[in-house]
Amino acid sequence: MLINLPDNLPSVEILKGENIFPCAGSLSSASRLRIALLNLMPLKTETEVDFLRLMAHSPVATEVTFVRLRTHRSKNTPQEHLDKFYRYFDEIRGEHFDGMIITGAPVELLDFRDVTYWEELTAIFDWAGSEVASTIYICWAAQAALYHFYGVDKHPLPEKLSGVFLHTVNQSLPLFCGFDDEFYAPHSRHTGIDREDILRTDGLVLVSESAEAGVYAVIARGGREIFITGHPEYSPLTLHNEYVRDLAKGLPAGIPVNYYRSGAAADRICVRWRAHAEILFSNWLNYYLFRASGR
């Protein structure tokens, strides 16, 4: 695992328990890629682990900086964790980063402009678009960025889309190098994007989609912008935990599709997306950041 991480980051111990070990010592600035991870998910430690796990097996050396918003206060992560391991965007915007990841957020049922931190978030979108070689926008962040940059709006779904769905690759691009013709990926959302809106919008390329889950991957500006509407980073238990949480809150919650081995929530989970998720992020680091940097 060629990733530089902050000292005493709790996520490191979790990864070690999975036989994933960060590199010893610091990586030379000439050889490493700097990645900014804007973590908008409520359970930030779990999300840290999810993304670090995906990048762990890439031969590309990276340094990850965790970023937070000044206009939003997290309710589910201890403030001391954020103060110790995260930096505000305005503190890092003058630094060089090769790539950026912007996660989903639990605000998808709100109109974009009603999100309290929309102004700061779109300023980050604009900064990434001009200063970073490639940015991956995940789930709600993908919808938000498509709306901000291209005017493509989301639409509500009849019911929550939750499960692991079969996808196809529409175009042979480096991001999907090594993929099978069909692959699985998790989704967990209440809103979607119409494929016709993507196809009619100049500059957007629909790279991957699902007959059940719809648009999955869209690329713009030669890969400087990558929009992923699902959650390839999800751990095996994430959909289960979300399902149990929704039931406990009395929310309408269907059993995640193609997730439990027999289709019943009491059965074991069938993990069928992790290998492709690792390839996706390895390709991003290699083709869109490392080679683009000229190292």
Domain residue extents for the chain: 3-154+192-234+274-290
Query: What's the rounded Cα separation, in Å, for the pair 135 and 271?
Result: 27
pLDDT at 96: 94
Class of the domain covering 3-154+192-234+274-290: alpha beta
Query: Is-contact 169 185, C-beta < 8 A?
Result: no
Query: What's the rounded Cα separation, in Å, for the pair 59 and 39?
Result: 24
Return the axis-axis angle of helices 140-150 and 118-131, rounded to nearest 10°.
Answer: 80
Query: Is-contact 229 222, C-beta < 8 A?
Result: no
Kindly tell me the sign of the dihedral angle through the C-alpha atoms of 220, 222, 223, 224.
Answer: negative
DSSP 8-class letter at 152: P
DSSP 8-class letter at 171: S
Query: What's the rounded Cα separation, in Å, for the pair 293 and 98?
Result: 8
pLDDT at 5: 78
Query: Residue 38: beta bridge partners?
Result: 67, 102
pLDDT at 24: 46
Kindly tell me the sign of the dihedral angle through the C-alpha atoms of 134, 35, 217, 149.
Answer: negative
DSSP 8-class letter at 118: H
Kindly tell me the sign of the dihedral angle through the C-alpha atoms of 139, 82, 47, 63.
Answer: positive
Q: What are phi and psi of 183, to 5 degrees?
A: -150, 160
Could you identify the residue written with the tokens 């102004």?
Answer: 119
Half-sphere exposure of 219 toward its Cβ, with a 13 Å CA cutoff?
17
User: Which structure tokens are listed for 69?
Assistant: 């918003």
- Residue 201: partners with Cβ closer than 8 Å, 6 or more residues away: 150, 151, 152
pLDDT at 56: 82
- Residue 133: partners with Cβ closer than 8 Å, 6 or more residues away: 98, 99, 224, 288, 289, 292, 293
pLDDT 10s digit of each residue in the chain, 295 long? 567 777 788 888 888 887 776 664 455 555 689 999 999 999 999 999 999 999 887 888 899 999 999 999 888 889 999 999 999 999 999 999 999 999 999 998 999 999 999 999 999 999 999 999 999 999 999 999 999 999 999 999 999 999 999 999 998 899 999 999 999 999 999 999 999 999 999 999 999 999 999 999 999 999 999 999 999 999 999 999 999 999 999 888 889 999 999 877 777 999 999 999 999 999 999 999 988 766 6
Query: Is-contact 276 233, C-beta < 8 A?
Result: no
Query: Is-contact 15 6, C-beta < 8 A?
Result: no
Q: Could you list the active site residues?
A: 139, 231, 233
Q: Which of 184, 206, 170, 177 is nearest to 283 (CA)?
A: 177
Query: Is-contact 164 258, C-beta < 8 A?
Result: yes
